[in-house]
Structure formats: C-alpha cells, structure tokens
Amino acid sequence: MSNEHMKISAHHLNLWFGSKQVLKNINVDFPQNEVTALIGPSGCGKSTLLRSFNRMHDLSPDARIEGQIKLEEQDLYEKKLSVTQVRKRIGMVFQKANPFPKSIYENINYGLEINNIPKADRPGIIESALRESYIWDEVKDELDKPATRLSGGQQQRLCIARAVALRPEVILMDEPCSALDPLSTLKIEELIVKLKKDYTILIVTHNMQQAQRVADKTVFMYLGEIIEQGNTADIFNQPKVELTGNYVKGHFG
Amino acid sequence: MKKLTPIIEWGTLLLSTGIVCFFLVVILWDLISKGASSLSWEFVSTLPKEGMTKGGIFPAITGTVLLTMITAIAAVPFGISCAIYLNEYAVDNWLTRIIRASIRNLAGVPSIIYGLFGLALFVQGLHMGTSLLAAGLTLGLLSLPYIIITTEEALRRIPASTREAALAIGATQFESIRDVVLPTALPGILTGVVLTLSRAAGETAPILFTGVAFYINNPSGYLNQEFMSLPYHLYMLSTQHQAIEEVRPLAYGTALVLIIVVFLLNLTAFYIRYKRSKNE
C-alpha cells in the first residue's frame, strides 16, 4: 500500500472501555478513493475502530483512547479541533438505517442547516446528494413524505445521501447492509463502488462475499488486533497468516 | 388437558379485561344517569346560589382549569428539563442513582403530605397566603416526579442510533436532543404529562390547606386569592353540605363536569399524537 495517497490513518491506537482493552496497538492506513473492508469475528473491535475515526466514543464516559488518528495531516483528537468539524469531514452510515422522523427532504436539509450551508444552496445540494445515492428517481415526487415510510433499502440509501450531502472526505459504513434483503444489498454495493471515485470509504462487514465485491483493500481483525491487511484478493486467496485463512474460509466467526 | 390450557389462559385474560371494562361502564353510567339532568348551560356558566342548592359551578370550573394551568407551567418545563439532564447528560454514578431513587420515592409520597409541605413553604414561608398560586405550585411539586419519570422513560425508548444519526452529521449533543430526540419522544412525553395533569386536576388533599375555598362570590382568577375547584366542591357537596339529599344531583353534575374537563385534556394530547403519527 505504499505508493498510494493515504487519506486516513491510525498509529499506535489503543482503546479501553473501562478496564477492558478493546483495541490493541492498531496501525493502519486507508488509501484515498478506495474502499477498505474491515472484517473479523463479532467483538473483534472493527466497529469500535471505525467509530474512533469520527470520534463517536467522545460521549462514552468510560472510553479511553491513546495513540494518534490522522486525516491527511490533521490530528483528529487534537484538543482545539471541534468534534463537529471532524464529523463534517468524516460521514457515517449505520448498521440499521436511521432516518430522522422527518420528511425525506428535511432528512438531508437538517444536516445542511446545522452546518450553516446558505439557504439558497440547499435545494441544489439536496437534489445532487439524492442523485448521487441513486434514490432521486424513486423519491423526487414525494420529497415531503415521511422518510420512515420508505423501504429499508431506500432508507439506507437516504442515509447515505444524508452523509454525502455534506461533502465529506471519508465515509464510514458500519455493516450498512446487514438488515437488508439481497436486492437492496446489491443496490447499496453498486452505490459504494460508484461513490469511491469521490470519497474514501471504510466499511465494516460480516459478509465475505460483500467484502470481495466492493473492497479494494481488506483489514482482518481478531481480538482487538489487526492480524493482516492488504489487497482484498490477496487476503482472500493467499492469506499470509493461517488465522486469516481460517476466518475467510468460514472455519470460525 | 393440554387442549384446555390455552382456553383457560385466554379466558382468564378476557375475564380480567371484562371486569375492568364492566366497572368503567358502571361508574360512567352511574355518573351520567344521575348527573346529566343537572347539566345545563346555566350550570356551567353561573355562580352558586342559595347556599349551593341552586345555580351553577362556574367558579369551580375556572378554578380547576386555572389551577391545572399553573401546575403545568410550574411542573412541565422543570420536569422535562430534569429528565433530559438525567437521561442524556448525567453520568451513571452513586449521586445520580440517589437522585433517581429519591424522585421515585417522591412519586410515592401521599398527596396530603404535599399539602402540608405547600402550607409550610408557599402559604407561610413565602407569604403567598392561601391562594391560587400557592395551591398551583403545591400541585406542581406533586406532579414533578411523575413528569420526570415518564419523560425519562420516553427518552430511554429512543434508540442510540437515532441520537448517533444526528451526531454523525455534525450536530452538537444539544442540537441532537432539541431537533431529533425530543420530537421523536414527544408522544410519550405528552402522554405522561397529560396523565399527570389529569391526576393533579382531580386532587383535593394538596389544595385543602393551600388555597381552595368552599364558596367565593366571583369567578376565581386572581393568583393571590382563594378559589373554588371541582374536586373540592364535589367533596363538600357530597359529605359536608347541610342539605346533602337536596344537592346530590348537583354533586353528580359536578363529578360529570370534572370528568369532562379531564377528558378534554386527554383529547388534546390524543390529537397532537395523532397529528404526529400522520407525519411519520
């Protein structure tokens, strides 16, 4: 991974919840405009790692973080950097689609509003975010409809549009398809592959086929440590570590 | 025997529901059949006459409505703010656990104790005298723990992912609470508030020492004066009046009006919830 431009990285990252160490000496770089999958059995710390990039642990009083996380040259945990600034540059899509209980339009407008985007620019941004997320044609005539009436797959694409509307540099996805049917999953996967030309994407997934379909790079984690990282094809076909091989072949999980 | 068990289970549940509904119907029937005859425009719009044996209960209605409004103004903002603090901001430590336990215990304190406390604090300590304001604040204190508990319950039902959705697009914690968490929890909060206020509107003991009067010759409406209220009026008419048999229909009429006032309060909440559910 050395001759690519590295967008976001963690160095000597350790994280504890109370007295339990969840992340152990994590060193990882994520290349720009590529999709990187984080895989590993439940409880291995992949979601925790993902959420430390946009400082989602800030509000958990028992979480303690050591080490460095950088976006380009910016230290994301620097004291004078506000967390809202971080989250404007690093968007997130969650495991279960979580649209606001507002209209489709308001779901995207709200993010623009709290980030002080001028009112005149908002309608255009909202339309292009919905287009970018391949949901515009399905919702353009009913933007006033409550977002909760959309199907699960549409809701998740709306959540992606909500993240995209703020023009982040990185999008974090925490098992975005785990609650969706195969067809909706396929649509989201196509969307992820298309989005990578504009964004750097990190995706946590339990689905080995999905990792192979969407990810350029794959990071395998186990018990809070990174066991192996590299090109997706290498991780799945010629893993260097036996544990990785056993996991991707489905011997445990 | 195996076949019989579901029927017994089902039957027990149905029977319980039936008994509850039966008593509800009996109470309503009793009230309506005996009270409807005294209901008239005159009854709800005029002052009592001739030692309560004639005339209406207008001052008692305005008294109860105003009292409930003061209770709401005193208890709802503080109660909801307190619940937001406890559920959204406060860390879980021994101090907040003690605060929570205290609030739960307060909810179990008999209402007459609140009456005594209101007498000591508002009427005497703060020199408000026996007045609408003192009684309203006393009922406000009584309502606070219920509003806090039900609001916290409603907030706790909002999943973490809803809060995170707002945080992840750069909302501050306050913005996420104001714009996403509270609107989502509103139906639950409202239900708690209305149930609490309905209960407060029907209370007699806490206002007994703090401001209610048997008779005043004007529509209640001054914060610093005594007032009439429906539950107290009902109590007086049905147990303390010198001509109990003569005023019995008026007592039933008063009970019916009290129920209607509380029902209207519930209806408002029902309407707001309905409007919201249509938008979701």
Per-residue pLDDT, averaged over A212-227, amounts to 94
Q: Which of residues 33-62 of B touch A (CB under 8 A)?
A: none
Q: Report pLDDT digits (tens) over A144-184.
A: 999 989 999 999 999 999 999 999 999 999 999 988 888 88
Alpha carbon of A225: minimum distance to chain B alpha carbons (Å)? 25
> Mutate which of B96, B162, B169, B179 to test chain A, going by most A C-beta atoms within 10 A?
B169
Could you tell me the two tokens for A134?
């391949």
Instruction: Name which of A87, A96, A101 is nearest B168 (Cβ-Cβ).
Output: A87
Judge contact between A38 and A219, C-beta under 8 A.
yes
Answer yes or no: do A100 and B180 touch at CB < 8 A.
yes
pLDDT at A3: 58
Answer yes or no: do A146 and B280 touch at CB < 8 A.
yes
pLDDT at B64 over 80: yes
Instruction: State the Cα–Cα distance between residues B203 and B146, nearest whole angstrom.
Output: 14
Instruction: State the Cα–Cα distance between residues B100 and B95, nearest whole angstrom.
Output: 9
pLDDT at A91 over 90: yes
pLDDT at B1: 63
Please give the residue that has the higher pLDDT: either B9 or B218.
Answer: B9
Instruction: State the Cα–Cα distance between residues B121 and B102, nearest whole angstrom.
Output: 20
pLDDT at A79 over 80: yes
Mean of the per-residue pLDDT values for chain B? 89
> Mutate which of A59, A83, A126 to test chain B, going by most B C-beta atoms within 10 A?
A59
Helix (H) or strand (E) holding A93, with range, is: strand A90-93
- Residue B279 pLDDT grade (very low, low, confident, very high; cuts 50, 70, 90): low
pLDDT at A2 over 60: no
Report the candidate in B203, B220, B251 with the shortest Cα–Cα distance to residue B60.
B220
A87-107 b/e (C-beta count within 10 Å ≥ 16 → b): bbbbbbbbbbbbbbbbbbbbb
pLDDT at A1: 45
Instruction: Name which of B159, B169, B173 is nearest A111 (Cβ-Cβ).
Output: B169
What residues of B are in contact with residue A98 (Cβ under 8 Å)? 159, 161-162, 164-165
ipTM exceeding cut-off 0.90 for this assembly: no
Mean of the per-residue pLDDT values for chain A? 91
Judge contact between A93 and A51, C-beta under 8 A.
no
Which pTM does this prediction carry? 0.84
List of residues 6+ apart from B239 with CB closer than 8 A? none
Q: Is A95 on the interface with B (CB under 8 A)?
A: yes
Q: Is B175 on the interface with A (CB under 8 A)?
A: yes
pLDDT at A92: 94
Q: Is A118 on the interface with B (CB under 8 A)?
A: no
SS3 A67: strand
What residue of B is the nearest CA neighbor of A159?
B165
Q: Give me the domains of chain A, ranges plus CATH numbers.
A: 6-95+170-248 (3.40.50.300)
Q: Is B89 on the interface with A (CB under 8 A)?
A: no
Instruction: State the Cα–Cα distance between residues B241 and B237, nearest whole angstrom.
Output: 5
pLDDT at B112 over 50: yes
Q: Which of residues 129-168 of A touch B (CB under 8 A)?
A: 146, 148, 159, 162-163, 166
What residues of B are in contact with residue A169 (Cβ under 8 Å)? none
Instruction: State the Cα–Cα distance between residues B92 and B152, nearest whole angstrom.
Output: 14
